[in-house]
Amino acid sequence: MPVQPPAPPVFYRFRTTEVLVDSLANFVVKAQRDAVDKRGKFTIALSRGTLAANLRGLVGQENVQWDKWEVFFCDEAAVPLESPDSNYHSNYLSFLSHVPIPPNQIHTIDASLLDDLEELADEYEKQLIGHFAASNAARYPTFDLMLLGMGTEGETASLFPEHELLSEKDAWVSYLEDAPRGPPRRITMTLPVLTHCYRVVFVVSGAEKAQMLHTILDEPETGLPCSRVRPAAPGLVFWFADADAASETTYPPTTFRWIDNQKEAEEAVEAAQRKAARRLQEALGEDEDY
Ligand SMILES: O=C1O[C@H](COP(=O)(O)O)[C@@H](O)[C@H](O)[C@H]1O
């Protein structure tokens, strides 16, 4: 059977960070409903950084089946779980501590292994295998939703530009001792795991991200880590950006709505492209070609 190319990224742009936060909460709740309907549970992976604060809209959401959530972390610093550098800790403060997800369904690193990064990564990979092996016999785990950030150099999770970890094909979780920003010692899910899920959402806010968001969406051929997260069909990739982060990007934004499959994603992006072309033609006047 011919392999389908990945769907184009769907780009949502929001007037303010508050609208982004509400829309993201709405999207996550829909994703969990879809996953619970189809597979009986919701597996979500969260990454480090400002993402945690942008998940605050989940607190107080109604009709969420919190008991069906299985929460993992895309990357984690080798620090105690109560450290301000811990990905778990940031997400705990912003929303996990405010919602009734059973604690044994929030899968943290084993903090007794912080001295040995290889063991720390292996143990986390075992947790993933233990969870996914029963439900999913594929080569890599298939998360229902992965929520990622974008660093100013185009990094995501703890996958940095030109780092050897980008070529990892076997491990689900690996480690690094030389992260160029933030805590240097970390573990991270690998690129094959990030590109093997049902939905990936990148969440980006703030003017300091504007130039890099332009590069990632408008010049994907640069091959920076964020551009390489293109899940194979039926996977879908979404970008949620506030107006500041989106200010330099020409990739056409799609109207915010629930998109469920590759065909809908392609149609939404084509419609957005036609709209952008019409606007450009209007701005240039009828006589000039763009
Ligand atoms: O370097 C990194 O940055 C991104 C984005 O972080 P943010 O704080 O600017 O949102 C983060 O997602 C990634 O895990 C980290 O390695």
| Residue matched to tokens 């107080």 | 60
**Count: domains in the chain:** 1
The per-residue pLDDT for 40 is 96
Over 80: is that where the pLDDT of 3 sits?
no
**Residue 4 domain-assigned?**
no
- For residue 151, the CA-to-ligand 1 centroid distance in Å is 5
**Residue 113 domain-assigned?**
yes
The C-alpha angle with vertex 82 and arms to 78 and 86, in degrees rounded to 5, equals: 40
**Residue 290 domain-assigned?**
no
Q: What is the ipTM of this complex?
A: 0.96
- For residue 154, the CA-to-ligand 1 centroid distance in Å is 9
What percentage of the chain carries pLDDT values higher than 70? 96
Beta strands across the sheet bearing 42-46: 10-14, 236-242, 199-204, 145-148, 42-46, 69-73
Identify the weakest region by mean pLDDT among 3-17, 128-142, 212-226, 243-257. 128-142
Q: What CATH number is associated with residue 256?
A: 3.40.50.1360
The per-residue pLDDT for 2 is 57
**279 C-beta closer than 6 A to ligand 1:** no
**Residue 100 domain-assigned?**
yes
**Residue 2 domain-assigned?**
no
Q: 213 lies in which domain range?
A: 10-284
* Nearest of 189, 71, 168, 182 to residue 124 by alpha carbon: 189
pTM tops 0.90: yes
Q: How far does Cα 183 stand from its chain's mean position?
A: 20
* Nearest of 88, 54, 43 to residue 186 by alpha carbon: 88
Calpha distance 116→177 (Å, rounded) = 11
Calpha distance 71→175 (Å, rounded) = 20
**Residue 265 domain-assigned?**
yes
Closest atom of ligand 1 relative to the 49 alpha carbon: 8
pLDDT-based confidence at residue 290 (cuts at 50, 70, 90): very low
- For residue 157, the CA-to-ligand 1 centroid distance in Å is 7
